[in-house]
Structure 1
Amino acid sequence: MKKRNLIFSLAVSTIFIPSIESATINDSLENENNSFEAHEIPIAEGGGGGGIRTFDEIESDCKATSKRAIQFFERKLSELKPEGQSNEQFKLKKEEYKNKINKYKEVFEYCDKKNKRFEKENAKQLTGKEAAIQFVDNRINEEIKKERNKASNIDSSANFQAWSDQLIESNDKIIALEKLRIEIKNFLKYAFSKYEELVTNGEFGFKEQMALAINLKTKYSDIDKVKVLAQKAIKLGLTDNKEINDLIKDIASAFYMYSNFEAGPTF
């Protein structure tokens, strides 16, 4: 987003001050049906059909999978017998299992580093807008994690009523955060989309600002609803992301311009 209007700072302050690796093991591993050695076992993948996952969850899966691999090859090593093979074959097989055990111990120790590299590499593949939307997910996930930790650390000595009240409060906050995730992402996706439609040459002048304000007002029926969404984004700390911060400034500028020329310019 280029060539900001000089009134951005004033507009933001007057309008939007909130009121409130993938590391894939290519070596042989078995699956649960004793066929690990013929399969790839993905470690620390970022995708999945269960929605957005935190990197803590990915790291946990990475460690669990590498731990199973270690246990599998330790079992294979303990069961290895010299009978039925040459001494040389026995030594080679024994060394192979030891090497694999050591490898997956390293994987276990560095799962978090692999995930950080995976996160960095995948971030490079995202456009600015996509990274901004991912930033929303990451920030919401952080807040949800805090609430889950809070729920898991409820004082066990509290009476049942106090304990259940705290648990319900945490669960309610998590539900509210999930609703907020959808609300904020839909808002930002729409605003980014309209901005890109209007600003085709890098200029965000009077005409583009008025059009953006009118589009947002039409979409949400009321400018105040848009302001509330922007305030929620600010309160959540989403303006730490440059793309979101620039978009919020542009929306603020558009509404400032719209509020001063709502009757329309005289030509």
Structure 2
Amino acid sequence: MTRMTFQAAATMGQLQKRLDNIANNIANTNTTGYKNRDANFSSLLSQQINLEADPTNETGRLTPEGLRVGTGAKLGHTNFDFTQGSLQTTDRNLDVALLEDNQFFQVAVEENGQQEVRYTRAGNFYLSPMENDTVMLVTSNGNPVLGANQQPITLADNMEDLTIDENGMINVTRNGVQVVEGQLGVVEAVRPRLFEASGESLFRLSEDSLTNYPLNEIINDVDTIRVQSGALEGSNVDIAKQTTDMIETQRAYQFNARTISMHDQINGLINQLR
């Protein structure tokens, strides 16, 4: 294989990853709390090919002699767009939408026998029955929702009504009397780029992030919470942009594939020369 073929093959592999990312965005257009992912490319190392020096070109020359030939492109990094998605009214008491960018609900997830705090913008909560006639506020996947005290929110089951106000306070009505019995734990991401996706519209902090930065430099507790009850935040995926990016990436993939086929044809013609 020649340098040209290597360049095209390397770039095609990275373009396929971008297509996979675009397909994932489009597939989650209607997923509650999903955040769009943008893929950025960067050039691979270039190689300097030196040519024989030409004395007639030495005078006043500012560029190095020879050619700089690239070795293709690679997917540099994938960034999340944490801007707020469109609000969808559901009129359901346990549906809550955050009204500020870079703010997240806290969720406890058990993995490999250990409990880890993860973060989400999806506020479609439910009540899960527990022991001793209590219920726990959980996500759609059954993970406990954490309160302002960093503990799962549990309530006595003998309630007549439950609402969540604009400040994230959980108001429970019993015997006709409404009492505040909890508050949603909301944090703000100071460095949202350090979040990584962990599936099911959840984000987590990697070990590398926690090693390089103290936790209080990544997330901060929010004093004033602004939420909208009876609504959910939809995906912030722009389907028109994703379609355009998909067509653009497919064309780039085809061009690189055509480069390989044309190079193969040229080599065939050269081999036929006698």
TM range (shorter): under 0.3
Between Structure 1 and Structure 2, which shows a larger proportion of helix residues? 1
Between Structure 1 and Structure 2, which shows a larger proportion of strand residues? 2
TM-score, length-scaled by structure 2: 0.23
TM-score, length-scaled by structure 1: 0.24
